[in-house]
Amino acid sequence: MNLNCSRLGSLLFLLSASSAFAHEDQSKPVITMDMKENEKGKKIAYMYIDGVKVHETDPSKQPFPEVVTPGTVPAAPPSDAIILFDGSDESFRKNWTNTKGKESQWKIVNGALESVKRAGYLKSVGKFGSCQLHLEWASPVQVEGDGQGRGNSGVFLMGIYEVQVLDSYENQTYADGQAGALYGRSKPLVNAARKPGEWQTYDIIFHRPLFDDAGKVTRRATFTVLHNGVLVQDHTVLSGGTGWRGPHAATDYKAHADKLELTLQDHGNPVRFRNIWLRELKD
């Protein structure tokens, strides 16, 4: 590419101007430019993004992405997943407790974890922040109750932000409380529910909220959710908390730790879960 000096100068000026802007906005990468002669004496523009040269080949400066072997079945955990439940009693006891950190009264039925009325929420032993989470769930075959009373449970990222689990197959309730909803905050794009008793999948990409020292939220949480492989939350920015604050109000954001336990809700219905795994994501 031929660039005369003035055009190159203005290009560098624009780049340095955008670089100055980048410093003001932490979410943007910092771009810098450098003119250097190569081994043949030709002047080359070197561009750096966040301090790393474009097309850098030295892995000590630009590490290669880790090789991850995908699972053979789409829902099977990839090689770098943290397995939270594989159907065995051992993985249940190793990875889950009740909310008090004691042995949970939830039970294993045919390799699935079943919610037991009044046993309380199930809490993971591990603590997690931003993550990719996969799990499968099934509402009871025997249909009982309606609306929010039918096959209700929930997946609480960081124990706080609920992706609703509900038997939403021909079961009407408020849209922001049906399966795939961010409870009270965002209804799913579509209703991708399977019939009662059938196994359903959730694939959730969650980025935790960030808070400043005063406890004010500086970056709200985001959710991308696929329900049975269908997109139901498309990088949804969570406008606040999903906790109950009366029939038409949800809780606000409240500052919390960077990593917290994942919880599954006991809402009094025998909802089952299986094949639970996650991959931690960097912020």
Q: Which residues bind Mg ion (CB under 5 A)?
A: 152, 154, 265
Tokens of 3: 């660039």
What minimum distance in Å lies between the beta carbon of 231 and Mg ion?
A: 21
Query: Rounded to the nearest whole angstrom, what is the least distance from the CB of residue 152 to Mg ion in the complex?
Result: 5
In the numeric block, the tokens 């906005």 are attached to 25
Q: Closest residue to Mg ion, Cβ-based?
A: 154
Q: Closest CB to Mg ion among 77 and 154?
A: 154
Q: In the complex, what is the shortest distance from the CB of residue 159 to Mg ion, in angstroms, rounded to a whole number?
A: 13
Nearer to Mg ion, 163 or 260 (CB): 163
CB of 187 to Mg ion, least distance (A): 14
User: Which tokens belong to 72?
Assistant: 């053979």
Q: How many degrees, rounded to 5, is the angle at CA 87 between CA 207 and CA 133?
A: 10
Tokens 């450098």 sit on residue: 34
CB of 107 to Mg ion, least distance (A): 19
Minimum CB separation from Mg ion for residue 191, in Å? Answer: 16
**How far apart are CB 164 and Mg ion at their closest, in Å?**
5
Measured from the CB atom, the residue of 124 and 164 that comes closer to Mg ion is: 164
Are 179 and 188 in contact by the 8 Å Cβ rule? The answer is yes
Q: Which is nearer to Mg ion, 115 or 124 (CB)?
A: 115
Closer of 81 and 164 to Mg ion (Cβ): 164
Rg (CA), the chain: 24
* Closest to Mg ion by CB, 152 or 171: 152
SS in 3 state form for the chain? CCCCHHHHHHHHHHHHHHHHHHHHCCCCCCEEEEEEECCCCCEEEEEEECCEECCCCCCCCCCCCCCCCCCCCCCCCCCCCEEEECCCHHHHHHHEEECCCCCCCCEEECCEEECCCCCCCEEEEEEECCEEEEEEEECCCCCCCCHHHCCCEEEEECCCEEEEECCCCCCCCCHHHCCCCECCCECCCCCCCCCCCCCEEEEEEEECCEECCCCCEEECCEEEEEECCEEEEEEEECCCCCCECCCCCECCCCCCCCCEEEEECCCCCCCEEEEEEEEECCC
| Least Å from the CB of residue 265 to Mg ion | 5
CA 197 to chain CA centroid, nearest Å: 25
Q: Which is nearer to Mg ion, 263 or 265 (CB)?
A: 265
The nearer residue to Mg ion, 77 or 187, going by C-beta atoms, is 187
